[in-house]
Amino acid sequence: MATRLARASGRTVAAYDERVDGRRDRFRLVARLRQALGEGALRTHFQPVVGIEDRHLHSVEALVRWTDDELGVVAPDELVAAAEAARLIDDVGAVVIDQALGQLAAWDAAGRVVHRAAVNVSPWQLRGRKLESALEASSTWHGIGLDRLTIELTESAVADLDDVGTRVLHRLRDRGVLVAIDDFGTGHSSLARLRELPVDVVKLDRSFVTDLPGPVASALVTAFVGVASALGLRTVAEGIETEDQWSELRRIGCIDGQGYLFGRPAPGGDVLVP
């Protein structure tokens, strides 16, 4: 009906049609996600984080993966947005945390050295106690201390932290959890503001790395690394794909790096661990 009207009367109804379709798709996505959570169908992949200087893996970032029987591969961004809207993000987060700490325990048991895992955390997960309960439960179950975990929050999430979220972050840091700002440079906070935030690590967004080496990008990254190190923060460059980008980051003095050059996200068993 809407499509027929759209054909007759133009774009407004077509837009309405798209919104209805969009809502129906989201409804289906959420229903499938609920089922996937119930069946334990979400998987976590791990991407190496290496020292820029020696290119040795010392930690990993945990990234959620979902291939649904009906929907096919669902992109993490889409999954996370749907989970946030449907208030399922705590459950998704708990799965990723559990698989990440479980993987650290598996590597430990195999005599492989991976010091720490980073998990991405949505700002919604800082609104109550569920994140802390999930961390405690998985830490106890797998026998992995929380001082081996980093939580990554985007720049805007950290900038918008309310009192409750700030208290959660401080309690987690008291337990040894490190806090990283993800995708830094894409939001609105300034380098100076970093000083006031409860953070330990800054991850420089891929968009800056893509243009390396180049006069403007190199100047920006140099300034960024300089200020971050003056503030005592560890810097990670994201999205390193080429040897040239790597050598420029090394020249600049960035500490850690992550990107397809060193390894793509993969199931824990497929990650090449020292």
- Where along the sequence are the contacts to ligand C2E (CB under 6 A)? 47, 63-64, 75-77, 80, 93, 96, 120-122, 152, 182-183, 206, 239-241, 258-260, 265
240: which 2 tokens?
């390193």
Q: Which of 90, 98, 183, 256 binds Mg ion (CB under 5 A)?
A: 183
Closest CB to ligand C2E: residue number = 259
Q: Residue 200 is encoded by which pair of tokens?
A: 């330990």
- How far, in Å, CA of 167 to CA of 198, rounded? 10
Q: How far is the CB of 238 from Mg ion (least distance, A)?
A: 5
Please give the Cα distance from 108 to 102 (Å, whole number): 10
Smallest separation (angstroms) from ligand C2E to the CB of 93: 6
Size of the site for Mg ion (CB under 5 A): 5
**169-173 contacts: CB < 8 A, separation 24 or more?**
169/126, 169/198, 170/198, 171/132, 172/131, 172/132, 172/135, 172/146, 173/198, 173/200
DSSP 232: T
Q: Taking the complex as a whole, how short is the minimal distance between the CB of residue 92 and ligand C2E, in angstroms?
A: 6
Residue 32 or 93 with smaller CB distance to ligand C2E: 93
Q: Which of residues 236-255 bind Mg ion (CB under 5 A)?
A: 238
The phi and psi torsions of 47 (rounded to 5 degrees) equal: -115, 135
Which residue, 152 or 248, has its beta carbon nearer to ligand C2E?
152
Least distance to Mg ion, CB of residue 19, Å: 30
Least distance (Å) from Mg ion to the CB of residue 4?
44
Pick from 155, 182, 248, 256 the residue near Mg ion by CB under 5 A.
182
Task: Kindly report the backbone phi and psi dihedral angles of residue 132, in degrees, each rounded to the nearest multiple of 5, phi listed first.
Answer: -65, -40
What does the alpha-carbon distance between residue 189 and residue 249 come to, in Å, rounded to a whole number? 23
The verdict on 155 binding Mg ion (CB under 5 A) reads no
Residues that bind Mg ion (CB under 5 A): 120, 152, 182-183, 238
